[in-house]
Chain A
């Protein structure tokens, strides 16, 4: 038996919801704990062992002074580094501040609070250090987390779908809300993985798994616009939890952003 992979979990600016997927089911945790050594996971255990680690999972976005340094240290300590969740893969909903007049933020933030100095922008981990894999979602899916860890244990590439949410609607037999109900839905440009739960609940997909492979966002929103959705409503739809993902970033702007191009 080879020694089990050594795992570490790290957190930056986030809600902790992705880390919580570790504890989703007793079965999942038992499987993880049986095949992986959890060496660093402050939210769950007090014992913290130093690296190097075989696999590092990072939740949260780079958003405060000191984060960059810590991200580099984490990169150096982890053989296989994975960004988990919308914050780590796209900057999270807190990246909406990236459209704000960047020069005005650090000064304002320095005045209040003085304890943590926020950066003008909230950005994904991969903007600063090379990452080996991304797990998408707000939050990530426990099944995909298990697949990722299984793949690492077996030494193969994780199998995570790259097609759009539409494929999951078809697979689950959910009637298309965009076609049948006239709802402006981001499913056609959003990566699968959630099980298409929003259309299954008679509502629009709001893109929490981020852009699917090669999405044509402008074409989709143009179509919704011609059908009657306002540019402002469509801009809000595209700009939520993955607003700073490159494919959603510019497509969500109804006009030139204030304070110049971000």
Chain B
């Protein structure tokens, strides 16, 4: 007799956005293992059309309240390429510091407040066992440090107002940037303290073979620029300029998800993006103290266990503090020009950065009217979605005989290891409107701003 049972869990907790898990076990075999995303889409691809170039950083920030800077900097990178402008090294360094601030706040939130409870046997950061009570305070102080960096450069921590195509609206204060140094120095040590704790957590044995995807640049840890690299078992499979992204990745739909999934071509293969992929690719490019800490963490690199990602995030907090500290100390004077001026022109370009959760790709086309004619965004969680499904399949055989609650908890912990940003993933869905062609049929979203319509 066939025995079948279903396990459902929704909403997932301690993750950003609305998602769930749906498992169907038949004779102890996982017939279905879905990471379901039911976040309502907000259709940013459509609503960017017809908007002015200078509005794009403000609009794309709203895709994600946790990583708005990554969206802003990726959009700026793509639009600056399209407009043929180069911002120069001084603005570049401040943008890197800004991105470091976002990594610090996003990772600090996930490591200390959202993920650590999984390993400490509690339901949330409000009920840490006494010996780890300091984790909450340290996490919040680190997160406040990241928010302060973003505020100094961007005007406010969530949806910064000072990021502009071409640089900044107003030159950030060099004095305020120098003043970040002391707290960044504390942050580096605090992150290393956290690493010493989280690297010794009890990790489930879960070695998988991944196709890692990350940026890689000649110098520095991957952050705001670089080539796209794909590797498997330590072997480089692909090393391409960002411009070739669409030849090697495509977006597809999953039946249980309101978010498009990005897969590797050929064969629609799943891939892994995020801190684990970055460290496996670029261990040697970590700043020196973070590199030493990674070596001494007790984790063997390259690492193939996604549950270790809490430790990789702690290493990346340290790396962001270490690099941020160098930039803050070296900042000698205010920018002489806050931004490079531009004239909108018809062009198309793409760019990719490393958001806290992984590779973020944007492509824009500027039309003859100087407005955005087309936009495409591939967020990190869209990229990780198929891999999460595959990992669930791999996890289930070992726990299939357990009770429903145990299975649900194990699946939720696996998904949480990815730090999925479900809002990001769902919000860039493009709508396909099926309707007859003919005059007036193709009313594009955003047309209400175009003159005479």
- Complex Cα gap A118–B37 (Å): 14
Q: Which residues of B in the span 435-453 have a Cβ within 8 Å of any Cβ on A? A: 435, 443, 445-453
Does residue A218 face the partner (Cβ distance < 8 Å to B)?
no
Contact present for B38 and A116 (CB under 8 Å):
yes
Contact present for A93 and B42 (CB under 8 Å):
yes
Does residue B125 face the partner (Cβ distance < 8 Å to A)?
yes
- Complex Cα gap A48–B113 (Å): 16
Q: Which residues of A in the span 19-52 have a Cβ within 8 Å of any Cβ on B? A: 19-21, 23-26, 29, 33, 38, 42-48
- Please, which residues of chain A bring their CB within 8 A of the CB of B59? 93, 240
Q: Which residues of B in the span 23-53 have a Cβ within 8 Å of any Cβ on A? A: 36-43, 46-47, 51-52
- Complex Cα gap A43–B421 (Å): 11
- Complex Cα gap A14–B125 (Å): 24
- Complex Cα gap A96–B40 (Å): 15
- Complex Cα gap A183–B240 (Å): 42
Given contacts A208-B159, A236-B51, A240-B55, contact A201 B431 (CB under 8 A): no
Q: Which residues of A in the span 60-111 have a Cβ within 8 Å of any Cβ on B? A: 63-64, 67, 92-94, 96-97, 99-101, 104-105, 107-109, 111
Does residue A231 face the partner (Cβ distance < 8 Å to B)?
yes
Contact present for A105 and B40 (CB under 8 Å):
no
- Please, which residues of chain B bring their CB within 8 A of the CB of A23? 109, 113, 140, 143
- Complex Cα gap A38–B124 (Å): 11
Does residue A131 face the partner (Cβ distance < 8 Å to B)?
no
- Complex Cα gap A159–B64 (Å): 29
One digit per residue, 1 when the CB lies within 8 angstroms of any chain A CB and 0 when it does not, for chain B 155-183 equals 11111011010001110000000000000
> How many A residues, CB 8 Å from partner?
75
Given contacts A12-B40, A197-B156, contact A44 B64 (CB under 8 A): no
Does residue B198 face the partner (Cβ distance < 8 Å to A)?
no
Q: Which B residues are closer than 8 A to A by beta carbons?
A: 11-18, 36-43, 46-47, 51-52, 55, 58-59, 62-66, 68, 109, 113-114, 117, 123-126, 137, 140-141, 143-144, 147, 155-159, 161-162, 164, 168-170, 253, 255-258, 338, 423, 426-427, 429, 431-435, 443, 445-453
Nearest 5 A/B pairs, CB to CB: A17-B65, A45-B124, A108-B433, A26-B140, A64-B40
Beyond A13-B39, A203-B170, 12 extra complex contacts between A and B, CB < 8 Å: A16-B65, A17-B65, A17-B158, A21-B158, A33-B126, A105-B433, A113-B41, A200-B170, A203-B161, A208-B159, A254-B448, A258-B447
